[in-house]
Structure 1
Amino acid sequence: MLKKTQQKDMGIIMLTLMFTVIVLSVYVVGDPTGAALTNLSTSQKAATTPDFGNHSKGAIHTIRLGATQQDTKWKAYVGNVTSAFVLDDADDYSIYQWTINSFTGQVYITRNSSVTWSNVGCAVAANKETEDTTNSHTSTAEDSLNSTFVLQAHKQFYVGATDITANNCFSIATNINDTAQTPSGTQPFTEVLLWDSDGKMIYTTFVESDVSGYRNVTGQDTYDFQAIVPESGSAGDPAFTYYFYLELTSS
Structure 2
Amino acid sequence: MKKTCSSFRISVVIAAIFLVIAIISSFNAVAVPSGPSVNTIKNETATPASAALVNTSGGSITTMVLNSTTQNLRWKAYVGNVTGTLVLDDASGYSVFDWSVATLVGEVYATRSSSTVTWSDIACATPSDITDEEIALDHTSNPNDNISTTFSTQDHNSFYVGSEEITEDSCYSVHTYVDDSSQSTDFEEVLLYDQSYMVYATIIENDVMGYRPDQTYDFQMILPEVGLSSWTSSTPYYFYVELI
Q: Secondary structure at the match of 1:41?
A: coil
Match of 2:160 among 158, 161, 165: 158
Aligned residue for 1:56? 57
Q: Is the 8 Å Cα contact of residues 173 and 188 (structure 2) preserved in structure 1? A: yes
What do you get for the CA RMSD once the two structures are aligned? 1.5
Displacement of 1:45:
0.4
**Matched positions, count:** 215
List aligned pairs for 1:54-203, cutoff 5 A: 54-113=55-114, 114-138=116-140, 141-181=143-183, 183=184, 187-198=185-196, 200-203=197-200
Aligned residue for 1:13? none
Q: Secondary structure at the match of 1:133?
A: helix
2:227 corresponds to 1:239: no
Q: Secondary structure at the match of 1:215?
A: coil
Q: Deviations over 1:193-220 (max 9, x none)?
A: 001122x11110000000000011x3xx
Q: Is the 8 Å Cα contact of residues 108 and 204 (structure 2) preserved in structure 1? A: yes
The amino acid that maps onto 2:61 is I
Q: Deviations over 1:36-89 (max 9, x none)?
A: 110001120001011111101012211111111000000000000001111111
Whichever of the two has the greater Rg, that structure is 2
Q: Is the 8 Å Cα contact of residues 110 and 200 (structure 2) preserved in structure 1? A: yes
Separation of aligned partners in 1, 2:204 and 2:72: 26
TM-score, L = length of structure 2: 0.85
The structure richer in strand per residue is 1
Separation of aligned partners in 2, 1:47 and 1:91: 50
TM-score, L = length of structure 1: 0.82
Aligned residue for 2:21? none
User: What's the % identity of the aligned pairs?
Assistant: 42
Separation of aligned partners in 1, 2:29 and 2:103: 14
Q: What 5-or-longer segments of structure 2 have no aligned partner?
A: 1-27
Separation of aligned partners in 1, 2:242 and 2:148: 26
Aligned residue for 1:207? 204
Q: Which runs of 4+ in 1 moved over 2 A?
A: none
The structure richer in helix per residue is 2
Displacement of 1:190:
0.6
Separation of aligned partners in 1, 2:155 and 2:106: 17
Displacement of 1:103:
2.2
Q: Secondary structure at the match of 1:75?
A: strand
